[in-house]
Amino acid sequence: MRILGINALFHDPAAALVVDGRTVAAAEEERFSRRKHGKRPLPFSAWELPERSAHWCLEQAGLTPAGLDAVTYSFDPALARPARDMGLDDPWDPLRLEYARRAPEFLAEALPGLDPARVVFVPHHVAHAASAGPASPHPDSAVLVLDGRGESASHLAGRYRDGKLDTLATQALPDSLGLVYEELTAHLGFLRSSDEYKVMALASYGAPRHLARLREDVHPTGHGGFRAHGVDWAALAPPRAGDEPWTQDHADLAASAQAVLEEVLLELVHWLHREAGGDALTMAGGVALNCVANSAIAARGPYRHVWVQPAAGDAGTALGGALHVAAQEITPEPMPGADLGRGWSDDELRAWLEQAAVPYEEPDDIAETVAAELARDGVVAWFQGRSEYGPRALGHRSLLAHPGRAENLERLNHVKGREEFRPVAPMVLADRAAELFSRGPVPSPYMLFVHDVAPEWRERIPAVVHVDGTARIQTVEERREPLVARMLRGFERRTGLPVVVNTSLNTAGRPMVDDPRDALECFGSAPVDLLAIGPYAVRRGRAFG
Which are the catalytic amino acids?
11
Give the helix/strand (H/E) hosting 113.
Answer: none
Q: Which residues contact 534 (CB under 8 A, 6 or more apart)?
A: 344, 346, 349, 350, 366, 383, 384
Distance CA 121, CA 101 (A): 9
- Residue type, position 70, single letter: A
The alpha carbon of residue 513 and the mean position of all alpha carbons in its chain are separated, in whole angstroms, by 15
Closest C-alpha among 30, 73, 68 to residue 52: 30
Pairing of β 14-19 and β 2-7 = antiparallel
Alpha carbon 454 to chain centroid, angstroms: 26
How is 238-273 classified by DSSP, letter by letter?
A: ----TTSPP-HHHHHHHHHHHHHHHHHHHHHHHHHH
Those residues with Cβ within 8 angstroms of residue 508's Cβ, 6 or more apart along the chain or in another chain: 416, 417, 418
Amino acid identity for residue 235 in this structure: A
- CA 268 – CA 67 distance, rounded (Å): 42
Instruction: Give the integer Cα–Cα distance in Å for 250 and 418.
Output: 18
Distances (CA, A) of 282 to 134, 141, 327, 328: 9, 7, 17, 20
Measure the CA–CA gap between 461 and 481, rounded to whole angstroms: 23
CB 280, CB 254: distance < 8 Å: no
Distances (CA, A) of 287 to 11, 111, 147, 193, 294: 15, 32, 5, 11, 9
DSSP sequence for 338-390: S--S----HHHHHHHHHHHT---B--S-HHHHHHHHHHTT--EEEE-SSPPSS
Query: Closest by alpha carbon to 137, among 373, 386, 332, 415?
Result: 332
Helix/strand/coil for 161: strand
